[in-house]
Structure 1
Amino acid sequence: MAQPQLPPAAAWLDDRLGIAKLGKKNLRKVFPDHWSFMLGEIALYSFVILILTGVFLALWFTPSMAEVEYQGSYSLLKGLAMSEAYESTLRISFDVRGGLLMRQIHHWAAVLFVAAMSVHLLRVFFTGAYRKPRELNWLIGIAMLFFGIVEGFIGYSLPDDLLSGTGLRISQGLVQATPVAGSWLAFFIFGGQFPGDDFVARFYTVHVLLLPGIILALVTVHLILVVYHKHTQFPGPGRTEKNVVGYPLLPVYAAKAGGFFFVVFGVLALMGALLQINPVWLYGPYNPAEVTAGSQPDWYMAWLDGAVRLMPGVESEFWGVTISWNIVVPALVMPPLFIGFVALFPFIEQRFTGDRREHHLLDRPRNAPTRTGIGVAIMVFYGILWLNSGNDLIAIHFGLSINAIMWFCRIAVFVGPVLGLVITRRIAISLQRADEQRLEHGLETGVIVRSPDGAYSEKHSPISTYEAYALTAHRQPPAADETTDDLPAKKA
């Protein structure tokens, strides 16, 4: 049978690069189908949308702290002195056609990018998808989340409005609290005294060049490793550690992925058009002597704010150096320990369980109760810090004592994770036992039958083959070592 001829341009490239052979191997690669795998796609598509909208905004944004007098369309700020960065942000919002829509899509995409990465990492954690051979991809995912958070914080700090300036002032104070080197670090980051004249230009370079380049490189390596290691899959009929059951990249997966990209873009466009976010014109230009009442950062920075609020004011002095423990512990010690524990968890689990096998089938969270309990403990710890970042607003809106909220969070941040671990572990074990009952006896039907000897019992119907696979897949024993005669080797 004659081989199909390539178009001239494709044939020219194939002669030099061998793209036909490469495409034949990879374009039919199989990807499993499950809704939870779309979480990573949402993060990827949000990043693409961030780049597209960011290019549009970069055409009109002026990264300068030079002082100008505002003469734009927003009458409430006319004649007010402000930086060129803030003035250009107002110009994008009110004078550039489609500018406000692009600003809001960009900001919502940043929020969704971090949120999707966070939920995606939770899915990977609770299903054990980080296990060998995917430990490196787990570390890359943690790094992407970290750089995504930093990128988001720097991005919403660029307009030089009162809210973002307040956040920068807090971050500058945290940097200055670093023992010994704090002042030098603050001068290096901000280019001198805060706010100074250089920080917007510096942050702009980092925001549009350095961090996007790093994230793009990490995304590329992440996708290469996904293809190399093959995609994980949930247990089911025909699914083993040696194969992947799903749809080929072309045409099925590519069509679904392309359609889903436009769904994500459409939802973000709808949010940008209908849901207001970061209305900088209401805050006014940044003034170090002013602080907005009830100011809150974007959600992904709130846990650090809550941690700083949680720590009592304690200071010590050593050899003429003042250590502000209320800043050092929550802002400089706790975050690296927290992130480090999460990043190294695959290796910690491997060390304690001794499981060094390759895993391509995912776990149900209930089948790994200790891991699931630890994951819930991490979420409770994060959630309490996140909740405490709004203790002032909670106290105002609900008529509560801010001191009572503070002390509740101080106690809960230690007790809550332990309770979360213990309770979640017990629930997971109970669900395992329920699965055992369903596997052995089938599903309850509510139909009572009478036996020939007069006894009454409930009739059970057998579970489906698919569900039986899901319930028993985690019981697969490790492969036995084999000798040259194909018999299992005897263990000493």
Structure 2
Amino acid sequence: VTGRLGASSWITKNLRKVFPSHFSFLWGELALYSFVVLVTTGVYLTLFFEGSQETKVYDGSYVPLQGQTVTAAYDSVMHISFDVKGGLLIRQMHHWAALIFIGAIALHMARIFFTGAFRRPRDLNWYIGLTLLLLALGAGVSGYSLPDDLLSGTGLRIIYAIILSIPVVGEPIVMLAFGGEWPGDEIIGRLYPVHILVIPLMIMGLLGGHLAMVWHQKHTQFKGPGRKEGNVVGERVWPAFAMKSIGLFFLVAGVIAAMGALFTINPIWLYGPYDSGAATSFAQPDWYVGFLEGSLRLMPPWETQIGPVVINNIFYSGVVVAGIIFGGLYAVPWLDRRFTGDYDDHNLLDRPRDVPIRTALGAASIMAVSILFIGGGQDIVARTFDISVGRVTTVLQIAFLIVPPITFLVTRHICISLRDRPGPDRTERRGTVSRSPGGGYHAATESEVADAAELLERAATVDAAEGNNDKPAGVVEADETVAP
């Protein structure tokens, strides 16, 4: 086949491609593999779910709910959970995979920010990654809302209020989406195709583009012996990198399966079907929208009137805050170029301590969002510590104004102290391990590290001079180097 298609040399070349090794690079792979589990389990659930708000009388296996009027969506999820073989396991795997997927993307983006991997020529991939994060949030919220239980219905009611708070266009949008005033009778049926078709296809397309760009531009790497802007030091795609990746996939799938089997999540049979008069306190959404919940709870009761239009605090907390967060993230590459004057291409990563301002800004931003997360559970904090909800809210409001600036100053001071302290070259990797001819391992001496760096340098120089791309395994390419 390869002979007929002429793909032999192309396949060989790409199988010999080199990827650097570092534990922080695994967040992207974790996101990819959890998405595979997410899609696989989602396809199974689609066979049994009914995306409709038509009402019926529940007569399934869960006795406490028998005889109650529920929507078809809620009834189908109960059927999956109690009557479909393996249904509850698959459903819980799907939910856990969604939480891991979004968390892995967030950690991946944080690694990219703190190491400067968003700079040219990878700024486009930064925008793609952020868009993937937004789509993942949209997929999570839409999927979380489909069962039409009490908790998800309460969340949809909050989303309805946030959209409705948008001046001028808010009311037409909710009328279109919900099919009328709350609760409407169309939102589940309209969220369903968005959740199972529109968003997944968009995610797949962006993931494909993201991976293609990483493959074409080559992966970034940390500074160290033998590492330069023009080369890559690491492992071949085949067999070393491929075997590790396959192993990681099965590990991720196994852990998600174990979580689905052992840890209950979103027990809708305990919440019951949605009833606008039965909304409870101490209700918490999935973690990834905790910052939005906290913003709604901590925002003071501000109102602004512009002519006949009244803008209330829901708009400020639900729309403006989210816009500032994600707008600021999209502006990161431009702001970095604007304030540093650095328009060059970069393939070597920064150590966070070496860029104190960027690191301090990132730490302060994380602290601000963390306070919003805590604010999303301020009633639980109040009950746990036997403090009034009002007092907890006031403390968190003050903390939101004071703690992030303090975090910025402290982080900046720590980074500068670590960067400027005397010692060996900061780009050297610590704790290098060397393997002896007999198969044993020992801490590498400075001379061994220097010798290895010299060998890497010679190999890259020779290959660049020869321009030979069809070399046997173990011989490096002109711009890629296999670590010893």
Same-fold call, TM cutoff 0.5: yes
Residues 415, 261 of structure 1: alpha-carbon distance in 2 compared, 3 angstrom cutoff: same
Residues 391-436 of structure 1: per-residue CA shift (max 9 Å, x gap):
01100011122222211221221222211111001001111133x2
Q: Which residue of 2 is the match for residue 338 of structure 1?
A: 325
Establish whether residue 146 from structure 1 lines up as the match of residue 172 from structure 2: no
SS at match of 2:266: coil
Deviation at 1:438, TM superposition (A): 4.5
**Equivalent in the alignment of 2:268:** 280
- Give 1:466 deviation, angstroms: 5.3
1:437 partnered with 2:414? no
Aligned with 1:314: secondary structure? Answer: coil
Give SS of 1:68's match. Answer: strand
Q: What is the rounded CA distance, in whole Å, between the counterparts of 1:127 and 1:439 in structure 2?
A: 18
Deviations 1:139-191 (A, max 9, x none): 11111111101110110100000000000001101111111121111112212
- Of residues 179, 196, 206 in structure 2, which corresponds to 1:218? 206
Task: Identify which of 329, 334, 351 aligns with 1:347.
Answer: 334
Within 5 Å, give how 1:215-294 maps onto structure 2. 215-294=203-282
- Alpha-carbon distance in 1 for matches of 2:365, 2:373: 12
SS at match of 2:331: helix
Which residue does the alignment assign to 1:427? 414
Give the equivalent residue in structure 2 for 1:414: 401
Question: Which whole-Å deviations, capped at 9, do the CAs of 1:303-356 have from their partners, x for residues lacking one?
Answer: 0010111111122333322221x1111111121121111121111011111111
Q: CA RMSD in A?
A: 2.0
Higher Cα Rg, which structure: 1
8 Å CA contact 2:177–2:186 kept in 1: the answer is no
Q: Which runs of 5+ in 1 are unaligned?
A: 1-8, 443-461, 471-492
Q: Distance in 1 between matches of 2:300 and 2:451?
A: 53
Aligned to 1:358: 345
Which residues in structure 2 correspond to 1:30-429 (within 5 Å)? 30-324=18-312, 326-429=313-416
Q: Alpha-carbon deviation of 1:22?
A: 2.2
3-state SS, counterpart of residue 56 of structure 2: strand
How far 1:293 moved relative to its partner?
2.4
**Residue number in structure 1 paired with 2:463:** none
Alpha-carbon separation, structure 2, partners of 1:468 and 1:429: 31
Equivalent position amino acid for 2:254 in 1: G
Secondary structure of the residue aligned to 1:437 is coil
- Overall identity of the aligned pairs, in %: 46
> Tell me, what secondary structure is at the counterpart of 2:70?
strand
Classify the secondary structure of the residue corresponding to 2:349.
Answer: coil
> Corresponding residue for 1:488?
none
Q: Tell me, in whole angstroms, the C-alpha distance in 2 between the residues paired with 1:31 and 1:312.
A: 50
Structure 1: distance between partners of 2:79 and 2:280 = 23
- Whether contact under 8 Å (1:61, 1:89) holds in the other structure is yes
Higher RCO (C-alpha 8 Å, min separation 6):
2
Aligned pairs, how many?
Answer: 437
Alpha-carbon offset, residue 259 of structure 1: 1.0
Contact kept in structure 2, 1:235 and 1:469, CA below 8 Å: no
TM-score, normalised relative to structure 2: 0.87
- For the 8 Å contact 1:392–1:402, the answer to whether it is kept is yes
1:128–1:362 Cα contact (<8 Å) kept: yes
Determine if contact 1:236/1:469 at 8 Å carries over to the other structure: no
Tell me the secondary structure at the aligned position of residue 233 of structure 2. Answer: coil
Matched letter for residue 22 of structure 1: W
Deviation string, structure 1 residues 441-485 (Cα, Å, up to 9, x no partner): x9xxxxxxxxxxxxxxxxxxx967759999xxxxxxxxxxxxxxx
Q: Which runs of 5+ in 2 are unaligned?
A: 429-444, 454-484
Would you say the 8 A contact 1:162–1:283 is kept in 2?
A: yes
1: CA distance, partners of 2:55 / 2:291: 34
Superposition deviation, residue 24 in structure 1: 2.3
Q: Secondary structure at the match of 1:306?
A: helix
